[in-house]
């Protein structure tokens, strides 16, 4: 990490832009307006009359100028690119997560700007588009739900989790990857469509004995449960280990991070925090991804995503 801090991308705007261009445009500049990637039809504008890093698309139907930040979460930001990359590396390298207040003190920018910056980076961590189903070729998929925080406008219940936000997570044992979803309620109507869309029919589904999985499990090649009410958490059937402990471990890391580092999360922002925890889990050392690798993956994820807010804690915040 000490050598990483010496990297000139954190002090030199030109180096920072070149680093980002190499990740966003590995094959050379691509026009974000029309998609033109023909290097013979793209001109880098240089000289005192132009800002650094500006390119011209020469496609007749386009002819627009652009930089590497156009059509990304960095677009129209007045924060220097060196600060953006410093925050990006801090978020991806901090094992126990890092709060907006800590980043704001370290980078010397306002708390509101830091809060917005970090939400933009969480948006970049979110996987967009269709993903291949989990559990293909009969692999094991653990499915479970947990509860955190409090739903807006709902009075705290004396017992149970009716007042809390529900989170559904699916974990593919073969790949080690997890997908998490903020659901309105932990009911069959909410859970079943997500499981059907993300889990292969050939999968070996593993859940607890919650009622929401009883009929749903019959739709898959195999469904096994563990009975937590009887203190059963792991069961072996031949070489097969039946458990939901892996996804429970993910929930443990998620809750420790939310309560210990972030402390509070509004319901409308929960899906982005889930994207952050999923990103970290899916790009961890155990899967061969180090701090630099996570930073590279996050840099590639900034493309095609925009996030605009008026100001934090406003009733008119746009998600």
Would you kindly state where each structural domain of the chain is located, as residue ranges? Answer: 136-256
All residues at 6 or more sequence positions from 227 whose CB lies less than 8 Å from its CB, including other chains:
208, 209
The four Cα atoms 66, 69, 75, 77 give a dihedral, to 10 degrees, of: -110
244, burial (CB in 10 Å: exposed 0-12, middle 13-18, buried 19+):
buried
Distance CA 185, CA 187 (A): 6
Name residue, tokens 């030109």.
14
Distance CA 175, CA 284 (A): 12
All residues at 6 or more sequence positions from 76 whose CB lies less than 8 Å from its CB, including other chains:
none
Name residue, tokens 């073969």.
174
pLDDT at 242: 94
In this predicted model, what pLDDT tens digit does every residue of 36-57 receive, in sequence order? 999 999 999 998 888 889 999 9
pTM of the model: 0.89
Distance CA 27, CA 86 (A): 25
In this predicted model, what pLDDT tens digit does every residue of 201-258 receive, in sequence order? 999 999 999 999 999 999 999 999 999 888 999 999 988 999 999 999 999 999 999 9
All residues at 6 or more sequence positions from 243 whose CB lies less than 8 Å from its CB, including other chains:
142, 206, 226, 233, 234, 235
In this predicted model, what pLDDT tens digit does every residue of 78-97 receive, in sequence order? 999 999 999 999 999 887 78
pLDDT at 295: 94
The four Cα atoms 38, 54, 23, 171 give a dihedral, to 10 degrees, of: -100
Relative to beta strand 178-183, strand 165-172 is antiparallel
Give the pLDDT band (50/70/90) at residue 1.
Answer: low
Exposure of 276 in the CB half-sphere (CA atoms within 13 A): 28
SS3 96: coil
Which CATH number among 2.40.170.20, 3.40.50.1450, 2.60.40.420, 3.30.420.10 corresponds to the domain 136-256? 3.30.420.10
Name residue, tokens 């958490």.
233
In terms of phi and psi (left: phi > 0; alpha: psi -120 to 50; beta: otherwise), the region of 103 is alpha
Distance CA 146, CA 143 (A): 10
pLDDT at 310: 60
Nearest Cα residue to 107 out of 139, 137, 141, 84: 84
């Amino acid at each position: 990490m000490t050598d990483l801090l010496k990297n000139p991308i954190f002090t030199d705007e030109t180096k920072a832009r070149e680093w980002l261009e190499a990740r966003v445009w590995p094959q050379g500049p691509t026009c974000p307006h029309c998609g033109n990637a023909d290097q013979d039809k793209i001109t880098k504008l240089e000289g005192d009359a132009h800002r650094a890093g500006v390119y011209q698309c020469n496609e007749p139907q386009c002819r627009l100028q652009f930089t590497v930040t156009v059509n990304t979460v960095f677009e129209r930001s007045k924060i220097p690119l060196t600060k953006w990359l410093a925050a990006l590396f801090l978020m991806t390298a901090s094992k126990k997560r890092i709060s907006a207040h800590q980043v704001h003190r370290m980078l010397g920018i306002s708390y509101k700007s830091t809060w917005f910056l970090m939400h933009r980076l969480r948006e970049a961590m979110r996987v967009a588009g269709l993903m291949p189903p989990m559990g293909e070729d009969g692999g094991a998929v653990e499915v479970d739900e947990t509860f955190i925080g409090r739903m807006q406008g709902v009075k705290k219940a004396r017992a149970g989790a009716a007042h809390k936000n529900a989170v559904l997570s699916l974990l593919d044992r073969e790949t080690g990857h997890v997908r998490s979803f903020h659901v309105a309620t932990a009911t069959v109507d909410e859970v079943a469509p997500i499981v059907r869309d993300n889990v292969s029919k050939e999968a070996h589904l593993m859940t607890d004995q919650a009622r929401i999985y009883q009929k749903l499990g019959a739709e898959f090649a195999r469904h096994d449960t563990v009975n937590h009410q009887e203190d059963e958490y792991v069961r072996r059937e031949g070489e097969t280990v039946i458990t939901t402990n892996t996804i429970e471990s993910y929930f443990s890391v998620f809750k420790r991070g939310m309560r210990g580092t972030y402390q509070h999360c509004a319901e409308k922002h929960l899906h982005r925090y889930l994207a952050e925890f999923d990103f970290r889990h899916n790009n961890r050392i155990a899967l061969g991804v180090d701090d630099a690798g996570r930073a590279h993956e996050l840099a590639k994820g900034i493309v095609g995503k925009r996030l605009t807010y008026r100001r934090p804690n406003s009733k008119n915040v746009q998600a």
